[in-house]
Amino acid sequence: MDEAAGLRIGELSYRVGVSPDVLRAWEKRYRLLRPTRSKGGYRLYTERDEWRVRLMQQQLWSGLSAAQAAQQVARIERESNLHDESIETPFELSRQLAGSLEAFDEDRAHELLDRLFGLHGLEKAIRDAIMPYLRELGERWAQRQVTIAQEHFASRLIEGRLLALARGWNKGRGPRAVLACPPGEQHTLPLVSFGLILRSRGWRNIYLGGETPPSTVQMAADTVAADVVVMSAVSADRFAPIARELRALARRCSLLLAGPGATPEVAAELDVQCLSDDPATAAEALSRRFVIEKMPHGR
Protein backbone atom coordinates (compact mmCIF):
# COMPACT_ATOMS: atom_id res chain seq x y z
CA MET A 1 0.00 0.00 0.00
CA ASP A 2 1.22 3.46 -0.85
CA GLU A 3 2.03 5.40 2.29
CA ALA A 4 2.57 8.77 0.58
CA ALA A 5 0.02 11.21 1.98
CA GLY A 6 -2.06 12.80 -0.70
CA LEU A 7 -5.82 12.48 -0.33
CA ARG A 8 -7.81 15.46 0.88
CA ILE A 9 -10.79 14.68 3.13
CA GLY A 10 -13.34 15.29 0.36
CA GLU A 11 -11.66 12.76 -1.94
CA LEU A 12 -11.31 10.17 0.83
CA SER A 13 -14.92 10.76 1.79
CA TYR A 14 -16.03 10.28 -1.81
CA ARG A 15 -13.99 7.12 -2.26
CA VAL A 16 -15.31 5.39 0.85
CA GLY A 17 -18.83 6.83 1.03
CA VAL A 18 -18.34 8.15 4.61
CA SER A 19 -19.01 11.82 5.31
CA PRO A 20 -16.13 14.13 6.34
CA ASP A 21 -17.78 14.68 9.75
CA VAL A 22 -17.75 10.97 10.49
CA LEU A 23 -14.15 10.63 9.27
CA ARG A 24 -13.08 13.44 11.60
CA ALA A 25 -14.99 11.83 14.48
CA TRP A 26 -13.28 8.47 13.88
CA GLU A 27 -9.92 10.25 13.87
CA LYS A 28 -10.66 12.10 17.11
CA ARG A 29 -12.35 9.34 19.07
CA TYR A 30 -10.50 6.22 17.91
CA ARG A 31 -7.35 7.49 16.22
CA LEU A 32 -8.47 5.45 13.23
CA LEU A 33 -6.94 7.90 10.77
CA ARG A 34 -3.57 9.59 10.96
CA PRO A 35 -3.53 12.43 8.47
CA THR A 36 -0.60 14.74 8.02
CA ARG A 37 -1.25 18.39 7.20
CA SER A 38 -0.59 20.28 4.01
CA LYS A 39 1.13 23.67 4.12
CA GLY A 40 -2.33 25.22 4.00
CA GLY A 41 -3.46 23.12 6.99
CA TYR A 42 -5.59 20.61 5.08
CA ARG A 43 -5.68 17.04 6.28
CA LEU A 44 -3.84 14.69 3.93
CA TYR A 45 -4.58 10.97 4.03
CA THR A 46 -2.73 7.92 2.75
CA GLU A 47 -4.05 4.82 1.03
CA ARG A 48 -3.43 3.08 4.33
CA ASP A 49 -6.01 5.44 5.88
CA GLU A 50 -8.44 4.53 3.11
CA TRP A 51 -7.81 0.86 3.84
CA ARG A 52 -8.50 1.46 7.56
CA VAL A 53 -11.83 3.15 6.79
CA ARG A 54 -12.93 0.32 4.51
CA LEU A 55 -12.02 -2.23 7.14
CA MET A 56 -13.90 -0.18 9.75
CA GLN A 57 -16.98 -0.20 7.52
CA GLN A 58 -16.80 -3.97 7.12
CA GLN A 59 -16.62 -4.38 10.90
CA LEU A 60 -19.58 -2.04 11.39
CA TRP A 61 -21.65 -3.93 8.84
CA SER A 62 -20.98 -7.14 10.69
CA GLY A 63 -22.80 -5.63 13.67
CA LEU A 64 -20.03 -4.21 15.89
CA SER A 65 -20.26 -0.85 17.63
CA ALA A 66 -17.94 1.89 16.33
CA ALA A 67 -15.59 1.49 19.30
CA GLN A 68 -15.39 -2.29 18.87
CA ALA A 69 -14.93 -1.91 15.12
CA ALA A 70 -12.03 0.51 15.61
CA GLN A 71 -10.40 -1.95 18.05
CA GLN A 72 -10.75 -4.70 15.48
CA VAL A 73 -9.11 -2.54 12.82
CA ALA A 74 -6.19 -1.84 15.16
CA ARG A 75 -5.88 -5.53 16.02
CA ILE A 76 -5.93 -6.67 12.38
CA GLU A 77 -3.36 -4.05 11.49
CA ARG A 78 -1.08 -5.11 14.36
CA GLU A 79 -1.42 -8.81 13.69
CA SER A 80 -0.93 -8.43 9.98
CA ASN A 81 2.38 -6.70 10.69
CA LEU A 82 1.77 -4.52 7.69
CA HIS A 83 4.86 -3.99 5.64
CA ASP A 84 4.37 -3.82 1.92
CA GLU A 85 7.09 -6.39 1.24
CA SER A 86 5.77 -8.92 3.74
CA ILE A 87 2.10 -9.11 2.81
CA GLU A 88 0.84 -11.56 0.25
CA THR A 89 -0.63 -10.11 -2.91
CA PRO A 90 -4.30 -10.76 -3.76
CA PHE A 91 -3.04 -13.21 -6.39
CA GLU A 92 -0.97 -15.15 -3.86
CA LEU A 93 -3.86 -15.28 -1.43
CA SER A 94 -6.23 -16.47 -4.16
CA ARG A 95 -3.78 -19.33 -4.96
CA GLN A 96 -3.79 -20.38 -1.32
CA LEU A 97 -7.56 -19.99 -1.16
CA ALA A 98 -7.95 -22.28 -4.18
CA GLY A 99 -5.86 -24.94 -2.44
CA SER A 100 -7.82 -24.77 0.80
CA LEU A 101 -11.21 -24.79 -0.92
CA GLU A 102 -10.33 -27.75 -3.11
CA ALA A 103 -9.22 -29.61 0.03
CA PHE A 104 -12.56 -28.73 1.73
CA ASP A 105 -10.54 -26.99 4.46
CA GLU A 106 -13.20 -24.58 5.65
CA ASP A 107 -11.26 -23.04 8.57
CA ARG A 108 -8.22 -22.29 6.45
CA ALA A 109 -10.40 -20.83 3.67
CA HIS A 110 -12.04 -18.48 6.18
CA GLU A 111 -8.66 -17.46 7.58
CA LEU A 112 -7.42 -16.67 4.08
CA LEU A 113 -10.56 -14.67 3.28
CA ASP A 114 -10.10 -12.73 6.54
CA ARG A 115 -6.58 -11.96 5.46
CA LEU A 116 -7.57 -11.07 1.92
CA PHE A 117 -10.28 -8.61 3.00
CA GLY A 118 -8.23 -7.32 5.90
CA LEU A 119 -5.06 -6.67 3.95
CA HIS A 120 -6.41 -5.53 0.63
CA GLY A 121 -9.94 -4.24 1.27
CA LEU A 122 -13.11 -5.32 -0.42
CA GLU A 123 -12.56 -3.82 -3.83
CA LYS A 124 -9.12 -5.29 -4.52
CA ALA A 125 -10.13 -8.58 -2.92
CA ILE A 126 -13.06 -8.87 -5.32
CA ARG A 127 -11.38 -7.56 -8.45
CA ASP A 128 -7.93 -9.13 -8.06
CA ALA A 129 -8.59 -12.34 -6.15
CA ILE A 130 -12.20 -13.54 -6.02
CA MET A 131 -13.28 -12.88 -9.63
CA PRO A 132 -10.08 -14.34 -11.15
CA TYR A 133 -10.37 -17.32 -8.82
CA LEU A 134 -14.00 -17.98 -9.85
CA ARG A 135 -13.11 -17.74 -13.52
CA GLU A 136 -10.32 -20.25 -13.06
CA LEU A 137 -12.60 -22.50 -11.00
CA GLY A 138 -15.07 -22.53 -13.91
CA GLU A 139 -12.33 -23.44 -16.36
CA ARG A 140 -11.01 -26.20 -14.14
CA TRP A 141 -14.55 -27.50 -13.65
CA ALA A 142 -15.14 -27.51 -17.44
CA GLN A 143 -11.88 -29.48 -17.88
CA ARG A 144 -12.91 -31.88 -15.10
CA GLN A 145 -9.91 -30.90 -12.96
CA VAL A 146 -12.24 -30.07 -10.07
CA THR A 147 -15.40 -31.96 -9.17
CA ILE A 148 -18.89 -30.54 -8.84
CA ALA A 149 -18.53 -31.06 -5.07
CA GLN A 150 -15.41 -28.89 -4.97
CA GLU A 151 -17.00 -26.21 -7.13
CA HIS A 152 -20.16 -26.16 -5.01
CA PHE A 153 -18.21 -26.09 -1.74
CA ALA A 154 -16.04 -23.21 -2.95
CA SER A 155 -18.84 -21.10 -4.37
CA ARG A 156 -21.16 -21.62 -1.38
CA LEU A 157 -18.43 -20.67 1.09
CA ILE A 158 -17.54 -17.52 -0.83
CA GLU A 159 -21.22 -16.66 -1.23
CA GLY A 160 -21.71 -17.01 2.54
CA ARG A 161 -18.81 -14.67 3.23
CA LEU A 162 -19.98 -12.04 0.75
CA LEU A 163 -23.55 -12.13 2.01
CA ALA A 164 -22.30 -11.77 5.60
CA LEU A 165 -20.65 -8.53 4.53
CA ALA A 166 -23.93 -7.45 2.98
CA ARG A 167 -25.72 -7.17 6.31
CA GLY A 168 -27.25 -3.72 6.68
CA TRP A 169 -26.45 -2.71 3.10
CA ASN A 170 -29.94 -1.26 2.73
CA LYS A 171 -29.34 1.44 5.36
CA GLY A 172 -28.34 5.06 4.99
CA ARG A 173 -29.22 7.90 2.68
CA GLY A 174 -27.47 7.02 -0.59
CA PRO A 175 -29.01 6.08 -3.94
CA ARG A 176 -30.91 2.81 -4.10
CA ALA A 177 -30.14 -0.15 -6.34
CA VAL A 178 -32.38 -3.18 -6.86
CA LEU A 179 -30.24 -6.21 -7.75
CA ALA A 180 -31.55 -9.39 -9.33
CA CYS A 181 -30.81 -12.20 -11.76
CA PRO A 182 -33.46 -13.19 -14.33
CA PRO A 183 -35.39 -16.49 -14.30
CA GLY A 184 -33.10 -19.48 -14.81
CA GLU A 185 -30.04 -17.64 -13.56
CA GLN A 186 -28.34 -18.78 -10.38
CA HIS A 187 -24.96 -17.10 -10.81
CA THR A 188 -25.34 -14.44 -8.15
CA LEU A 189 -21.75 -13.99 -6.89
CA PRO A 190 -20.72 -11.14 -9.19
CA LEU A 191 -24.01 -9.37 -8.52
CA VAL A 192 -23.48 -9.58 -4.76
CA SER A 193 -19.90 -8.36 -5.28
CA PHE A 194 -21.18 -5.44 -7.31
CA GLY A 195 -23.68 -4.59 -4.54
CA LEU A 196 -20.92 -4.66 -1.91
CA ILE A 197 -18.78 -2.20 -3.83
CA LEU A 198 -21.78 0.06 -4.40
CA ARG A 199 -22.39 -0.15 -0.67
CA SER A 200 -18.81 0.86 0.09
CA ARG A 201 -19.58 3.99 -1.90
CA GLY A 202 -22.67 4.79 0.13
CA TRP A 203 -25.41 3.08 -1.91
CA ARG A 204 -28.33 1.15 -0.48
CA ASN A 205 -29.18 -2.23 -1.99
CA ILE A 206 -32.32 -4.27 -2.26
CA TYR A 207 -31.06 -7.69 -3.21
CA LEU A 208 -33.49 -10.14 -4.81
CA GLY A 209 -30.92 -12.74 -5.90
CA GLY A 210 -31.22 -15.46 -8.52
CA GLU A 211 -34.19 -16.55 -10.61
CA THR A 212 -36.30 -13.40 -10.19
CA PRO A 213 -39.13 -12.65 -12.66
CA PRO A 214 -39.02 -9.07 -14.07
CA SER A 215 -42.58 -8.31 -12.89
CA THR A 216 -41.53 -8.75 -9.31
CA VAL A 217 -38.33 -6.78 -9.86
CA GLN A 218 -40.58 -3.98 -11.08
CA MET A 219 -42.69 -4.20 -7.96
CA ALA A 220 -39.60 -3.95 -5.71
CA ALA A 221 -38.21 -1.04 -7.72
CA ASP A 222 -41.52 0.87 -7.46
CA THR A 223 -41.83 0.18 -3.74
CA VAL A 224 -38.42 1.55 -2.83
CA ALA A 225 -38.25 4.20 -5.60
CA ALA A 226 -35.05 2.62 -6.91
CA ASP A 227 -32.49 4.82 -8.65
CA VAL A 228 -31.28 1.87 -10.71
CA VAL A 229 -32.19 -1.74 -11.30
CA VAL A 230 -29.32 -4.06 -12.20
CA MET A 231 -29.95 -7.53 -13.61
CA SER A 232 -27.11 -9.88 -14.45
CA ALA A 233 -26.78 -13.18 -16.29
CA VAL A 234 -24.03 -15.39 -17.69
CA SER A 235 -25.85 -15.96 -20.95
CA ALA A 236 -27.90 -13.79 -23.30
CA ASP A 237 -30.38 -16.69 -23.43
CA ARG A 238 -31.58 -15.66 -19.99
CA PHE A 239 -32.61 -12.20 -21.20
CA ALA A 240 -34.12 -13.20 -24.57
CA PRO A 241 -37.30 -14.95 -23.29
CA ILE A 242 -38.20 -11.96 -21.12
CA ALA A 243 -37.36 -9.26 -23.67
CA ARG A 244 -40.85 -7.75 -23.60
CA GLU A 245 -40.91 -7.47 -19.80
CA LEU A 246 -37.41 -6.03 -19.74
CA ARG A 247 -38.37 -3.34 -22.25
CA ALA A 248 -41.38 -2.47 -20.08
CA LEU A 249 -39.16 -2.37 -16.99
CA ALA A 250 -36.67 -0.11 -18.76
CA ARG A 251 -39.46 2.35 -19.58
CA ARG A 252 -40.35 2.69 -15.88
CA CYS A 253 -36.95 2.71 -14.26
CA SER A 254 -33.27 2.99 -14.98
CA LEU A 255 -32.46 -0.60 -15.96
CA LEU A 256 -28.88 -1.80 -16.44
CA LEU A 257 -27.97 -5.30 -17.60
CA ALA A 258 -24.66 -6.92 -16.65
CA GLY A 259 -22.57 -10.08 -16.84
CA PRO A 260 -21.39 -12.01 -19.89
CA GLY A 261 -25.05 -12.28 -21.04
CA ALA A 262 -25.38 -8.50 -21.36
CA THR A 263 -23.90 -8.37 -24.85
CA PRO A 264 -23.95 -5.35 -27.20
CA GLU A 265 -26.59 -7.24 -29.26
CA VAL A 266 -28.82 -7.59 -26.19
CA ALA A 267 -28.33 -3.90 -25.41
CA ALA A 268 -29.29 -2.91 -28.95
CA GLU A 269 -32.22 -5.33 -29.19
CA LEU A 270 -33.74 -4.20 -25.88
CA ASP A 271 -32.56 -0.61 -26.08
CA VAL A 272 -31.12 -0.96 -22.59
CA GLN A 273 -27.72 0.07 -21.23
CA CYS A 274 -25.25 -2.64 -20.26
CA LEU A 275 -22.42 -2.61 -17.73
CA SER A 276 -19.46 -4.13 -19.51
CA ASP A 277 -16.82 -3.91 -16.77
CA ASP A 278 -16.03 -6.21 -13.88
CA PRO A 279 -18.24 -5.69 -10.78
CA ALA A 280 -15.79 -3.44 -8.92
CA THR A 281 -15.03 -1.17 -11.87
CA ALA A 282 -18.68 -1.03 -12.93
CA ALA A 283 -19.82 -0.11 -9.40
CA GLU A 284 -17.20 2.58 -9.19
CA ALA A 285 -18.20 4.03 -12.58
CA LEU A 286 -21.90 3.95 -11.68
CA SER A 287 -21.37 5.62 -8.35
CA ARG A 288 -19.41 8.40 -10.01
CA ARG A 289 -22.58 9.16 -11.95
CA PHE A 290 -24.49 9.73 -8.73
CA VAL A 291 -23.20 12.43 -6.45
CA ILE A 292 -24.36 11.33 -3.02
CA GLU A 293 -23.86 14.69 -1.48
CA LYS A 294 -21.71 17.70 -2.28
CA MET A 295 -18.63 17.15 -0.22
CA PRO A 296 -16.74 20.28 0.64
CA HIS A 297 -12.96 20.07 0.94
CA GLY A 298 -13.08 20.63 4.69
CA ARG A 299 -10.11 20.71 7.01
Residues in contact with ligand B12 by the rule CB under 6 A: 131, 134-135, 137-139, 141-142, 151-152, 155, 159, 184-191, 194, 230, 232, 234-235, 258-260, 275, 278-279, 282
Cβ of residue 243: shortest distance to ligand B12, in angstroms?
A: 18
**Which residue, 53 or 179, is less far from ligand B12 as judged by CB?**
179
Cβ of residue 141: shortest distance to ligand B12, in angstroms?
A: 6
**Which residue, 76 or 242, is less far from ligand B12 as judged by CB?**
242
Cα(266)–Cα(60) distance, integer angstroms = 39
Q: What's the count of helices (H) and strands (E) in the chain, helices before strands?
A: 13, 7
Cβ of residue 191: shortest distance to ligand B12, in angstroms?
A: 5
Q: Are 190 and 232 spatial neighbours (Cβ–Cβ below 8 Å)?
A: yes
Q: Cα angle at 12 between 10 and 13, to 5 degrees?
A: 60
**Which residue, 12 or 165, is less far from ligand B12 as judged by CB?**
165
For the chain, the farthest-separated pair of C-alpha atoms sits apart, in whole angstroms, at: 61
Q: Are 204 and 179 spatial neighbours (Cβ–Cβ below 8 Å)?
A: no
Q: Are 17 and 200 spatial neighbours (Cβ–Cβ below 8 Å)?
A: yes
Cβ of residue 270: shortest distance to ligand B12, in angstroms?
A: 16
Which residue's C-beta sits nearest to ligand B12?
138
Cβ of residue 123: shortest distance to ligand B12, in angstroms?
A: 13
**Which residue, 187 or 199, is less far from ligand B12 as judged by CB?**
187
**Which residue, 18 or 256, is less far from ligand B12 as judged by CB?**
256
How many other CB atoms are there within 10 angstroms of residue 57's CB atom?
20
Which DSSP string do the residues of 27-94 spell out, in sequence order? HHHH-----EE-TTS-EEB-HHHHHHHHHHHHHHHTT--HHHHHHHHHHHHHHHT--TTTSPPHHHHH
